[in-house]
Amino acid sequence: MPIMRVEDVSKNFGGLDALKRVSFTLYEGQVKALIGPNGAGKTTLFNLISGVDRPTAGHIYFRDHDLGTLRRHEAAGLGIGRTFQHSKVFDDMTVLDNVKVGRYQRGRAGIFSSFFSLRRHRNEERQVRETAFEALKRVGLEAQAGELAGNLPMGDRHLLEIARSLATEPTVLLLDEPAAGLNNDETDRLADLVRQIRDNGVTILLVEHDMGFVMDISDEVVVLDYGKKIAEGPPLMIQNDEEVIRAYLGDDLA
Amino acid sequence: MSFDQFLQYISSGITSGSIYALTALGFTLIYNSTDIINFAQGEFVMLGGLVAISMHEWGAPLPLAFLVAVALVGIVGVIFEQLAIRPLLSAGVLAQIIVTIGASLAIRTVAMLIWGRESLPLPPFSGDSPIVILGASILPQTLWVLGLTLVIVVALQLFYRRTLTGKAVRACSVNPTAARLMGISYSRVVLLSFGLSAAISAAGGVMITPVSFMSYSAGALIGLKGFAACILGGLGNPVGAVAGGLILGILEALTVGFLPFSGSSGYKDGVAFLILLVILFARPQGLFGRRTVEKV
Amino acid sequence: MGIVAYARKHAAFLAFSAVAMCAPLFIGNKYYLSILAFTATRLMVALGLNLLMGQAGQVSLGHAAFVAIGAYGSAVMTTRWSVNPWLAMLVAALLAAGVAAILGVPTLKLRGHYLAMATLGFGEIVFILLVQLKGLTLGTDGISGIPSLTIGSLDFGRPRAYHWLAWGVALLMLRMSLNLVDSRVGRSLRALDRAEIAALSLGVNTSFRKVQVFVVSAVFASVAGSFYVHYIHYISPDSFSVTFSVVLVTTVVLGGLGNVWGAVWGSIFMLFLPEYLKRFNQDYTNLVFGLMLIVVMIFLPGGLVGLRHVPARLRRRFTPPDALPAEDT
């Protein structure tokens, strides 16, 4: 069943076309990868899908909601979670507190119950703490719960971002280059984690440069080049697509 | 209001507007190279005026007093950059703002200790017998302010467009990383921006002093108006900054003209603030906005 | 929560409260009592500003104006219109909240620090209005004869009674701030300051939260202003120049951003430091404050509260690098 439809989406930055009429569909329960050379428009597309930016033309539908009509913080409420290519953990907060922010939109405590630490606020806090800890366990960071997030090594930061997103209980998870800077072991463990998340019913869209990783875990791959979709299909087909090879290696080599 | 009265208000508006324009230009230079809003910008204007007053008192002819004031405040700008801004260039916005606020308070207090609390005068650059144009009598100082502002703006444009150093500065404001890769020293560019910015604002301070006197506490309000001019013209756009300054000056002068009740000159200072708020509400990219104001 | 558990969790707060409330029993000197009373009102302002700056990372350069709204609101309403002081305090605080919302809504949805400039302008305007609106504020003459706060036959005009009342309110605000930091709202404020795009992606309505904490800080300041005038019984515009706004920022920065206790230590330090500086020349006070802002930001971004980390940092500096765990940046 389709869960997200990207329809003829274009994005223009001051005369520069970052995306040109891109369309594809994300199906429930699949792992889909978005690949392409640097500057192909992958992160731009991520920003549109996660609602922090709007398309210049075209629509992105999540179930029946047009994401272009949402305010910037509302995508999370629909069940769209994301991680970032360049670490966006909250540096001077503890690892556990980072994940607690992930529970924000499921919480109700407002400024008054926070100020006066009302009973319902304390009950909610206890639940937030438990759920956040569960999310940390899923990515294997529970031992670092009390550390400052800024002190984590790069790979762990990405895991923390995943845990933080999982805490929002997303139905679609967007991962922006999760394997960047990881060694082989860590990449393998990440692949296991991604599969496990998928098996729990979360649909995954990821941007990644590590082709081994992409081909290993993706059900389908979309290839962008200069803002255009040049290919879409299962990994094996993509690997042998001439236009994709040309985009990656240049005309003279193909 | 008769037509010659109207012209009178316009000419006084253009005079103070030119100073806002130069202050706004000062903000823009620093903002474009560092993304910092310098809350001490108005103090440069104030220092310019007061240094020129002292130079003149010591017998220096006005042109020399002007040049010394501009050069000296330019050096103050450079020292400020070295001591306070340099260590925090890569720190957060909050720290940068706080440091420039601290500098503003420190400079203002030092100025008070040196020059006292009184408003001090400076004679006009070429006498004060008014010139009659279209029935309105205009002070020669107005023409000086307008002329010198024009010279500074044109010289600055030539510097940015024609010289290698100027191009380097522009490259840094467009893309610091790429500029660095091209071998342009970012820290030199920042240093230059602070020096130039302080000097230009100081020039404004010297020019306005014969019209409205100068005191240690005048910088804060001029700085605020210079910033309002920036927002009006579109933050980061030098042409917009100059236009914004002139528009603001004229609007202020007309407010005094049209508000009949006494004390309206006190409310004049509110115009800048009102414009600032309205623009932020309705059109944050400014009237001639070029850079888009990013909403995160 | 049991009493013992509560006491253990809030030991620092309880100890500080005990010291603050018992202080007048041991201090007979009226002069020092009055400085302590001013410390309480300063603390009220500093706590709000600390939440705004330290948690949400926004600067207000117009908080003197919010204090003025409380002070003049109470003064005008009680002396000219005979409004009950408590009601006047409430009305002034609501006014401050409304004004803060008007300033915050357009500026806080923009990136960068438009709030700082807007509040700076606002501070200038309020100062001008205080001088110009003579019909309401009596201009530079100021308003005198402002009554003391009372509850029934309880008169808070006497120094000790006032001390307990003002410190009671200040401590309540301290407790509220400490609670807020460790809550859903407090975490969202820190998150939006440290990485706004990430906070948005987690569903935090960042513009709303920023405006909200700004409004809270304005209300704290207004309430402080009201308490202040009911203690000194006289008010004039001099006290509310933009320089006072910068002094308020200095209070918070010096104490330590990002830690609620910074507001406490900053307030104590800033009220007692000028007493010390008076022995030299009062004109130097502002110079010292300005330089302190620069020096603290560069060398001690954690402020006075951050000093406790210094020994550990020094120890680390003198440890050979290979003995270090993963270094923080």
pLDDT category, B294, cuts 50, 70, 90?
very low
- Whether B171 maps to a domain, the answer reads yes
| Predicted confidence (pLDDT) at residue B191 exceeds the cutoff of 70 | yes
Total number of domains in chain B: 1
Residue C24 near residue C33, CB atoms below 8 Å:
yes
Judged by a CB distance cut-off of 8 A, whether residue B292 touches chain A is: yes
Task: State the CB neighbour count (10 A cutoff) for residue B295.
Answer: 13
Task: State the CB neighbour count (10 A cutoff) for residue C187.
Answer: 27
Q: Give buried/exposed letters for B31-42 (b at 16+ CB in 10 A, else e).
A: bbbbebbbbbbb
Q: What is the pLDDT of residue A108?
A: 86
Which residues in chain C have their CB less than 8 angstroms from residue A81's CB? Answer: 201-202
Cα C46 to Cα C224: distance, rounded to the nearest angstrom: 10
Q: What is the pLDDT of residue A32?
A: 94
Residue B122 near residue B57, CB atoms below 8 Å:
no
- Name the minimum distance, in Å, from the CA of B283 to any CA of chain A: 18
Cα A209 to Cα A43: distance, rounded to the nearest angstrom: 12
Q: Are A52 and B292 inside 8 Å of each other by CB? A: no
Q: What domains are defined for chain A?
A: 2-79+170-249 (3.40.50.300), 90-152 (no CATH)
Q: What is the pLDDT of residue C329?
A: 33
Q: What is the pLDDT of residue A240?
A: 83
Sequence-distant (≥ 6) Cβ neighbours of residue A211 within 8 angstroms: A35
- Name the minimum distance, in Å, from the CA of A33 to any CA of chain B: 27
- Whether B52 maps to a domain, the answer reads yes
- Name the minimum distance, in Å, from the CA of C99 to any CA of chain B: 12
Cα A34 to Cα A223: distance, rounded to the nearest angstrom: 6
Judged by a CB distance cut-off of 8 A, whether residue B293 touches chain C is: yes
- Beta strands A203-207 and A31-35 are parallel
**Percentage of chain B modeled with pLDDT above 70:** 94
Tens digits of per-residue pLDDT, A9-63? 999 887 788 889 999 999 999 999 999 888 788 888 988 998 888 899 999 999 9
Closest-CA residue in chain B for C129?
A: B267
Cα A182 to Cα C25: distance, rounded to the nearest angstrom: 63
Nearest-CB residue to B220 (from C103, C128, C242): C242
B228: Cα separation from own chain's centroid: 11
Q: Are C185 and A150 inside 8 Å of each other by CB? A: no
Tens digits of per-residue pLDDT, B73-96? 999 999 999 999 999 888 888 899
Which residues in chain C have their CB less than 8 angstroms from residue B83's CB? Answer: 294
Burial class (CB in 10 A: 0-12, 13-18, 19+), B61: exposed
Residue B208 near residue B46, CB atoms below 8 Å:
no
Chains that touch B (3 or more CB pairs under 8 A): A, C
C112: phi then psi, degrees, rounded to nearest 5: 90, -165
**Selected residues 151-210 of chain B with any CB under 8 Å from a CB in chain C:** none
| Predicted confidence (pLDDT) at residue B258 exceeds the cutoff of 80 | no
Cα B16 to Cα B218: distance, rounded to the nearest angstrom: 13
SS3 of A18, please?
Answer: strand
How does pLDDT run along chain C (329 residues), one tens digit per residue?
Answer: 577 877 777 889 999 999 999 888 888 888 888 889 999 999 999 999 999 999 999 999 999 999 999 999 999 999 999 899 999 999 999 999 999 999 999 888 887 778 888 898 899 889 988 988 888 888 888 898 888 888 878 888 888 889 999 999 999 999 999 999 999 999 999 999 989 999 999 999 999 999 999 999 999 999 999 999 999 999 999 889 888 999 999 999 999 998 999 999 999 998 888 777 766 666 788 898 899 999 999 998 888 988 877 666 666 555 544 444 443 33
**A213-A217-A221-A226 Cα dihedral, nearest 10 degrees:** -30
- Whether B163 maps to a domain, the answer reads yes
B260 or B113: which leads in pLDDT: B113
Closest-CA residue in chain C for B279?
A: C106
Q: Which structural domain, as residue segments, surrounds residue B49?
A: 11-217
Identify residue A74 by its one-letter amino acid code.
E
Q: What is the pLDDT of residue C311?
A: 66
Residues paired with residue C147 on neighbouring β-strands, in sequence order = none
Residues paired with residue A65 on neighbouring β-strands, in sequence order = A62
Q: What is the pLDDT of residue C248?
A: 94
| Predicted confidence (pLDDT) at residue B23 exceeds the cutoff of 50 | yes
B99 or B291: which leads in pLDDT: B99
Closest-CA residue in chain C for B100?
A: C294
- Whether B229 maps to a domain, the answer reads no
Locate B84 and state its tokens. Answer: 């306070």
Residues paired with residue A5 on neighbouring β-strands, in sequence order = A25, A61
Residue C70 near residue C225, CB atoms below 8 Å:
yes
Sequence-distant (≥ 6) Cβ neighbours of residue A69 within 8 angstroms: none
- Beta strands A16-27 and A57-62 are unpaired
Q: Are B97 and C293 inside 8 Å of each other by CB? A: no
Q: Which of left, alpha, beta for B185 (phi over 0: left; psi -120 to 50: alpha)? A: beta
Nearest-CB residue to B280 (from C107, C128, C290): C107
Q: Are B296 and A14 inside 8 Å of each other by CB? A: no
How distant, in Å, are the alpha carbons of B62, B212, C262 from that of B218?
21, 10, 32
Q: What angle do CA A73, A77, A82 make, to 5 degrees?
A: 70
Q: What is the DSSP track for C272-284?
A: HHHHHHTTT-TTH
Question: DSSP state, A78?
Answer: H
Which residues in chain B have their CB less than 8 angstroms from residue C124's CB? Answer: 220-221, 224, 269, 273
Q: What is the pLDDT of residue A249?
A: 67
Identify residue C295 by its one-letter amino acid code.
V
Judged by a CB distance cut-off of 8 A, whether residue B112 touches chain C is: yes
Judged by a CB distance cut-off of 8 A, whether residue A127 touches chain C is: no
Q: Which of B218, B250, B276, B280 is nearest to B53 (CA)?
A: B218
| Predicted confidence (pLDDT) at residue B168 exceeds the cutoff of 50 | yes
Residues recorded for chain C: 329
Q: What is the pLDDT of residue B101?
A: 93
Residue A229 near residue A22, CB atoms below 8 Å:
yes
Q: What is the pLDDT of residue B109?
A: 93
Residue A33 near residue A222, CB atoms below 8 Å:
yes
Q: Give buried/exposed letters for C273-282 (b at 16+ CB in 10 A, else e).
A: beeebeeeee
Q: Which of B202, B282, B277 is nearest to B42 (CA)?
A: B202
Q: Are A150 and C329 inside 8 Å of each other by CB? A: yes
Cα C157 to Cα A94: distance, rounded to the nearest angstrom: 46
Nearest-CB residue to C180 (from A75, A82, A114): A114
Judged by a CB distance cut-off of 8 A, whether residue B296 touches chain A is: yes
Residue C33 near residue C160, CB atoms below 8 Å:
yes
Cα B285 to Cα B295: distance, rounded to the nearest angstrom: 11
**Percentage of chain A modeled with pLDDT above 70:** 98
Locate C162 and state its tokens. Answer: 């006032």
Average pLDDT of span B207-222: 91
- Whether B277 maps to a domain, the answer reads no
- Whether B223 maps to a domain, the answer reads no
Number of CB pairs, chain A paired with chain B, less than 8 A apart: 4
